[in-house]
Amino acid sequence: MRMYDIIKKKRDGGELSEEEIGFFVRGVTDGSIPDYQITALLMAIYYRGMNVRETCDLTFAVRDSGDRLDFSSIHGIRADKHSTGGVGDKTSLVVAPIVSSLGVKVAKMSGRGLGHTGGTVDKLEAIEGFRTTLSEREFIDQVNKIGMAIVGQSKEFAPADKKLYALRDVTATVDSMPLIASSIMGKKLAADDDCIVLDVKTGSGSFMKSVERSRELARLMVEIGKSAGKKMVALITDMDRPLGNAIGNATEVAEAVETLKGRGPSDLTEVCITLAAYMLSLAGKGSVEECKALAKKAIEDGSALEKLKECVRAQGGDVSVIEDPSKFKRAKFSREVKSPAAGYIGRVDTEAYGLASLALGAGRNTAEDSIDYSAGILLKKKTGDKVEREETIAVLFANDEKLFTGAEEKLLLATTIQTSPPAPEPLIYDVIE
């Protein structure tokens, strides 16, 4: 088999066979295919696309390019959720304990922040002592013992994706449905869950800016998961505004705790209850409506919060900050951002909000950067809220006062103030089953 022929076939609109896709991904992984041929094929895929069969084959080849987890020694049904990435998205910290407190196992591998989006592993590391690296044995034992564990990716999952993503990033080929779907699902399927709920974000804070594109991606990923034998659902949720009011790491953990106490922002609470309900329902706990009621009860009776504490304790974290989030180390400085006009908050550029938080130190510009866990943003006004001139719309937190100017500028540029209230947008656009 020759890479030249595979590139030519796709360039001319042909359908690649499983063998050709396998040859390509093996060659990417072992370094035998040069970057110029890899990127030529990526560009051909970008223009010509792939059908569902090719996309499934690409996904499975990516999944099989590295380590895979074996959860067969976990007793009971395993369910997971996966978000395509957003701003203020702390749902995993709320959903995993809810689902686990209701008897479904959550063996969760999470990622770190990427660009303007946050990552669950970074948020958990805001809790002093919390170990996001466990051996596979420790991880499985903890899930069997308390029902949940959340770790970062320590093994080499889907190394082919690492290489492909790096090349896509510099050759303008990220934005391709089969390449995105196979990248996300190739990594997700390396873990061994029975049920997966995808939270496909849509809007200015996500990499899918339109609902139609998000729907298309969701359908494709559901199809891929099903052909791998998983029970799948995808929700399309709004990212035209940050989720909840907190953006940052410690501040997002605090907001997740408030949500588990039943005092969270309504948008975050609704998305969490819905995600949890679909996970529970896929795991056989009842209809989605019944599972919503179960999820709400797990918040009301405190069992979900108790589960988060158990998990934090088991992974060596300081539980006192979960009991009382005001014990999180605070940033040295804060600054209130005032509204330049009276009116209503209209459309916001959520990605720019994420970048403002990053500029305060809450995220990374490069993989090597360290994170300031106490930095971030607390929003006082969101889309649809009425605001007076000079009223505070957000509070910024940082340990270096010089960072405020840039972040404030970004936030104000990203916020429109209009004279009439904007038409309300749905929080959950669709469910793909």
Is 38 a binding residue for ligand URA by CB under 6 A? The answer is no
Name the β-bridge partners of 432. 234
**Is the Cβ of residue 95 or residue 180 nearer to ligand URA in the bound state?**
180
203: left (phi over 0), alpha (psi -120 to 50) or beta: left
Least distance from C-beta 312 to ligand URA, angstroms?
27
Is 65 a binding residue for ligand URA by CB under 6 A? The answer is no
Q: Which stretch binds ligand URA (CB under 6 A): 1-9, 62-70, 179-187, 318-326?
A: 179-187
Is 183 a binding residue for ligand URA by CB under 6 A? The answer is yes
Quick check: helix, strand or coil at residue 407? Answer: helix
**Is the Cβ of residue 109 or residue 184 nearer to ligand URA in the bound state?**
184
Least distance from C-beta 396 to ligand URA, angstroms?
28
**Is the Cβ of residue 134 or residue 177 nearer to ligand URA in the bound state?**
177
User: Residue count at the site for ligand URA (CB under 6 A)?
Assistant: 7
d(CA 70, CA 82): 19
User: Which string of x and - marks every residue 129-168 that binds ligand URA (by CB under 6 A)?
Assistant: ------------------------------------x---
Under 8 Å between Cβ of 109 and 189: no
**Is the Cβ of residue 173 or residue 315 nearer to ligand URA in the bound state?**
173
Least distance from C-beta 300 to ligand URA, angstroms?
35
Half-sphere exposure of 67 (CA within 13 A, CB side): 9
Least distance from C-beta 58 to ligand URA, angstroms?
12
Beta-sheet pairing, 195-202 with 231-238? parallel
Active-site residue list: 82, 161, 168, 183, 187
Q: Which stretch binds ligand URA (CB under 6 A): 86-94, 173-181, 213-221, 363-371?
A: 173-181
Q: Which stretch binds ligand URA (CB under 6 A): 35-43, 129-137, 180-188, 326-334?
A: 180-188
**Is the Cβ of residue 396 or residue 432 nearer to ligand URA in the bound state?**
432
Least distance from C-beta 173 to ligand URA, angstroms?
10
Tokens of 362: 């809450």
Q: Which stretch binds ligand URA (CB under 6 A): 8-16, 31-39, 175-183, 404-412?
A: 175-183
Within the chain, how many helices (H) and strands (E) appear? 17, 13
Is 180 a binding residue for ligand URA by CB under 6 A? The answer is yes
H helices of 195-302, where? Answer: 211-227, 250-260, 266-282, 288-300
Q: How many CB atoms lie within 10 A of CB 248?
A: 33
Least distance from C-beta 187 to ligand URA, angstroms?
6
- Interacting positions 198-257 with ligand URA (CB under 6 A): 207
**Is the Cβ of residue 207 or residue 328 nearer to ligand URA in the bound state?**
207
d(CA 336, CA 410): 14
Report which residue's Cβ sits closest to ligand URA. 183
d(CA 144, CA 154): 20
Least distance from C-beta 219 to ligand URA, angstroms?
16
Beta-sheet pairing, 386-387 with 79-83? unpaired
Is 197 a binding residue for ligand URA by CB under 6 A? The answer is no
Q: Which stretch binds ligand URA (CB under 6 A): 129-137, 172-180, 310-318, 412-420?
A: 172-180
**Is the Cβ of residue 135 or residue 210 nearer to ligand URA in the bound state?**
210
Compute CA distances 231 → 85, 183, 221, 224, 283, whole Å: 21, 19, 12, 11, 8
d(CA 364, CA 355): 10
Under 8 Å between Cβ of 49 and 13: no
**Is the Cβ of residue 23 or residue 207 nearer to ligand URA in the bound state?**
207
Q: Which helix (H) or strand (E) holds 47?
A: helix 35-48
Residue with token string 């907190």 = 246
Under 8 Å between Cβ of 66 and 157: yes
Beta-sheet pairing, 106-109 with 148-151? parallel
Least distance from C-beta 101 to ligand URA, angstroms?
29
User: Interface residues with ligand URA (CB under 6 A)?
Assistant: 165, 174, 179-180, 183-184, 207
